[in-house]
Chain A
């Protein structure tokens, strides 16, 4: 073998190691997106996926080391690549049935919430352990092949392979997040990963005279090109109007009771269960029983709003809060509304199907993070509404800390209101206690927590440098007929709790245990023994 040919072969083996490293990251990053529609993309899910992949890789290294002692390590490498290709190709097809085993269909949000931690772990094991284990075998096998072909010492061979593999992983990481997933989507990304591995397996097996296996590798690509369905389905009682796989979630607009007086459209994300992210009804104004949005209509009346009433909604989604305020402002008040929504695709859907209209008085900041937006925005608002959620129940950690609420205070006009929606089970819920405690300290003002009637939500109210009206007082009850009934419904002592600065827990950027609190909240709400 000439020196040039030898160098070429070394480069080829290193390229193979790099491609396997890249594919490992494609599988790992794609994994969270793949199971996200069922289990969300919380830190818990990330931890489970990363943990499973690391376990699989460590086992794969050992298995690969073991296989490298065989007579034909190159052939073993080919078979390992073939197995990895088959596993990767199967992932988009297997995701839904496997997720269903650990998260049965038809559960309500609170029943399902207890399953997310263990369910995502088990799903990750079943789906991602096999391909990651196969991919873990690649590096030791490559090292052995390289060392046998060019005996330069195990350390040098191993170092070269690890360098190539890690550089490949680096490339795979950036390519997956910034190119593959946004441009091609999940199914094609996994198909590409499977195709790359199958091509490598074909070349290696053909080169080691395992021709039949090489042909099998050639066909391994076949299932990957079949259409796969990685989206959860809409509930059967609604009509699906549109569906998008966005950067953050699987989103859809579903219509119920079209053409009747009860017509409504819901924007649902991921599995949705019995929940939704935004709701549209034909007429602007109150949504009705069980809707926390309706409570956001009270502050303009409590403040006696006249003229321009400026509102900023953090977590605008499809603009339900705007529509509620549009239909309920006191006479003489006009709405000047801004909205911040992290997911631009949601805003697109809202424009098409939920009458989200933009103008000088209605500005949407799509693709912005709420906290970053507030830091850069130099305006003061009469009302800031915090309604930022991921996957129905995950409050982003950086939007519930003392530092965040201190920032909110600087963006509220004197007398301005903070309103926050909290998914919680009662006023003693650990999530409510932490969020209200942090808000009270951050705003240096009492926070009133109100249980939303017929709902599993709590709405927090606080006011900068002014008092909230006393429950049941004349100022508490708006002159609007529709709102009067709502205000009277929530004037009872058992459905309200006031947090003064120093009450409750305080979350900080340094220490925010919101995920633990959410798990505790769910455990408390499941008296029948379903533990998360």
Chain B
């Protein structure tokens, strides 16, 4: 994740949730407790994703984001986080799903994110993410093709070996 995106992640909520100040102090356990103590289920999901992300638990953050998206499929913020984190984990399919939600969502993306420059910023994020996911998918496709090549070479070699065995093992008619 870019530094800019990190900053935006923290700054996008204009109203300061209590867990954010704990997060800034580095008190992760307290931050997680406070995030879970919020009233709105959407905010709980967002808060958990944010705390786990800053604790460095990307897999945990992605799981939280995906759980949150099951409850709130149209939440653009969760879609954005799921997309970004899945991309960082190299999971192209999850990143693509997150991006689709992110692209389909309406602004504002976070509570209070209604400043005029936000739309341009988020458009930029979407474009950048789309490009990065495309690169990830290209890489995955390369790996899949290489695996297919390797399997075919092995199968062909084995088949060739069997044919050769059958041919060479026959006793010639005359010396």
Which residues in window 104-127 of A have CB below 8 A to B?
A: 104, 106-108, 110-112, 114-115, 118-119, 121-123, 125-126
**Given known contacts A59-B164, A63-B168, A111-B139, is B151 in contact with A494 (CB within 8 Å)?**
no
In the assembly, what is the distance between CA of A101 and CA of B164, in Å?
Answer: 26
B-side contacts of A529, CB under 8 Å: 144
Taking CB atoms, residues of chain B closer than 8 Å to A527 are 91, 93-94
Q: Which residues of chain A are near B51, meaning CB under 8 Å?
A: 492
Of B90, B150, B154, B168, the residue contacting A65 (CB under 8 A) is B168
Q: Is B26 an interface residue (CB 8 A)?
A: yes
Which residue of A66, A110, A125, A426 contacts B153 across the interface (Cβ within 8 Å)? Answer: A125
Q: How far is the CB of B123 from chain A (nearest CB, A)?
A: 27
Give the nearest-CB partner of A491 in chain B. B29
- On whether A121 and B154 interact (CB within 8 A), knowing A65-B168, A527-B91, the answer reads yes
Per-residue interface assignment for chain A, residues 467 to 497, with 1 indicating a CB less than 8 Å from any chain B CB and 0 otherwise: 0000010000000000011001111101100
Complex CA–CA separation, A20 to B93 (angstroms): 52
Q: Are B157's CB and A129's CB within 8 A? A: yes
> Which single residue of chain A is at the shortest CB-CB distance from B63?
A494
Is B112 interfacial (CB-CB < 8 Å)? no
Q: Is the CB of A485 within 8 A of B26?
A: yes
| B interface, over-half SS | helix
B72 at the interface (CB under 8 A from A): no
Pairwise interchain contact B29-A472, C-beta atoms closer than 8 A? yes
Residues B90 and A110 in contact, CB atoms below 8 Å apart: yes
Q: Which A residues between 376 and 423 are near B, CB-CB below 8 angstroms?
A: none
Task: Select from chain B the residue with minimum beta-carbon distance to A289.
Answer: B56
For chain B residues 124-175, which have a beta carbon within 8 Å of chain A? Answer: 139-140, 142-144, 146-147, 149-151, 153-154, 157, 161, 164-165, 168-169, 172, 175
> Given known contacts A485-B26, A528-B92, is B146 in contact with A104 (CB within 8 Å)?
yes
Quick check: which of A259-267, A367-375, A446-454 contacts chain B, the rest being far away?
A446-454
Would you give the shortest CB distance from B173 to chain A, in whole angstroms?
A: 10
Is the pair B32, A122 in contact by a Cβ cutoff of 8 Å? no
Of the candidates A112, A453, A530, A531, the one whose C-beta lies within 8 Å of that of B56 is A453
The minimal Cβ–Cβ distance linking B43 to chain A, given in whole angstroms, is: 19
Residue of B nearest to A120 (CB): B150
Contact partner, B57, options A121, A472, A492, Cβ 8 Å: A492
Q: Please indicate the chain A residues that have their CB under 8 angstroms from the CB of B151 in the complex.
A: 118, 122
A122's partner among B92, B140, B144, B153 (CB-CB below 8 A) is B153
Please, how many angstroms separate the alpha-carbon atoms of A518 and B158 in the complex? 27
Is the CB–CB distance between A66 and B149 below 8 Å?
A: no
Q: CB distance B165 to A495 under 8 Å?
A: no
B60 interface residue (CB < 8 Å to A)? yes
Interface membership of A83, Cβ < 8 A: no
With known contacts A62-B164, A125-B154, A101–B149 Cβ distance under 8 A: yes
Known: A118-B151, A426-B59, A528-B93. A107 touches B143 (CB 8 A): yes
A46: shortest Cβ distance to chain B, in Å? Answer: 17
- Once the chains are docked, how many angstroms separate the CA of A72 from the CA of B154? 34
How many pairs, one residue from A and one from B, have CB atoms within 8 Å of each other in the complex?
124
Given A111-B139, A125-B157, A494-B52, residue A453 in contact with residue B146 (CB < 8 A) = no
Q: Mark B64-108, 1 if CB is under 8 A from A, else 0.
A: 000000000000000000000000001111100000000000000
Bound form: Cα–Cα A56–B59 in Å? 45
A106: chain B residues within 8 A (beta carbon): 139, 142
Bound Cα distance A484, B27 (Å): 10
User: A451 with B168: in contact, given A102-B150, A125-B153 (CB under 8 Å)?
Assistant: no
Q: How many residues of B contact A (CB 8 A)?
A: 39
Contact flag A452-B56 (CB < 8 Å), given A121-B154, A491-B28? yes
Do the beta carbons of A114 and B29 come within 8 Å of each other? no
Q: Mark A335-376, 1 if CB is under 8 A from B, else 0.
A: 000000000000000000000000000000000000000000
Kindly state the separation between the CA atoms of A488 and B25 in the bound complex, as whole angstroms: 10
CA distance A106 to B135 in the complex (A): 11
- B153 pairs with A530, CB closer than 8 A: no
Q: Which residues of B contact A55 (CB under 8 A)?
A: 157, 161
Q: Is the CB of B28 within 8 A of A530?
A: no
CB distance from A528 to the nearest CB of B (A): 5
Contact digits for A143-169, partner B, Cβ 8 Å, 1 yes 0 no: 000000000000000000000000000
In the complex, residue of chain B having the shortest beta-carbon distance to the beta carbon of A106: B139
CA distance A112 to B151 in the complex (A): 15
A62 to B94, CA, bound (A): 52
Interface residue? B58 (CB, 8 A):
yes
CB distance from A45 to the nearest CB of B (A): 13
Chain A residues in 8 Å Cβ range of B147: 114-115, 118-119, 530-531
Q: Please determine whether A489 and B56 come into contact, CB atoms closer than 8 angstroms.
A: yes
Tell whether B55 is near chain A: CB-to-CB under 8 Å. yes
Give A119 to B52 CA distance when docked, in angstroms: 36
A425 CA to B93 CA, complexed, in Å:
18
The listed residue with most B CB atoms (<10 A of its CB), out of A452, A472, A495, is: A495
- Are B29 and A495 neighbours in the complex by a CB distance under 8 Å? no
Tell me the nearest residue of chain B to A274, going by C-beta.
Answer: B90
- Rounded to whole Å, the gap between the CB of B10 and the closest CB of chain A is 16
Whether A118 lies near B154 (C-beta < 8 A) is: yes
Min C-beta distance of A144 to chain B, whole Å: 10
**Which chain B residue lies CB-closest to A116?**
B150
For the complex, what is the distance from the CA of A37 to the CA of B151, rounded to whole Å? 21
Residues in A with CB closer than 8 Å to B32 are: 492
Give chain B nearest CB distance to A268 CB in angstroms. Answer: 19
List B residues at the A interface (Cβ < 8 Å): 26-29, 32, 51-52, 54-60, 90-94, 139-140, 142-144, 146-147, 149-151, 153-154, 157, 161, 164-165, 168-169, 172, 175
Query: What 7 additional pairs, Cβ within 8 angstroms, besides A62-B164, A122-B153, A489-B26?
Result: A63-B164, A102-B146, A118-B150, A121-B150, A122-B150, A454-B56, A495-B60
Which residues of A pack against B, CB within 8 Å? 55, 58-59, 62-63, 65-66, 69, 101-104, 106-108, 110-112, 114-115, 118-119, 121-123, 125-126, 129, 289-290, 425-426, 451-455, 472, 484-485, 488-492, 494-495, 527-531
**Chain A to chain B: the 6 pairs with minimum beta-carbon distance, closest first:** A453-B56, A62-B168, A122-B150, A118-B150, A122-B153, A454-B56
A-B contact pairs, 5 of them (CB 8 A): A55-B161, A103-B146, A107-B139, A115-B143, A119-B150
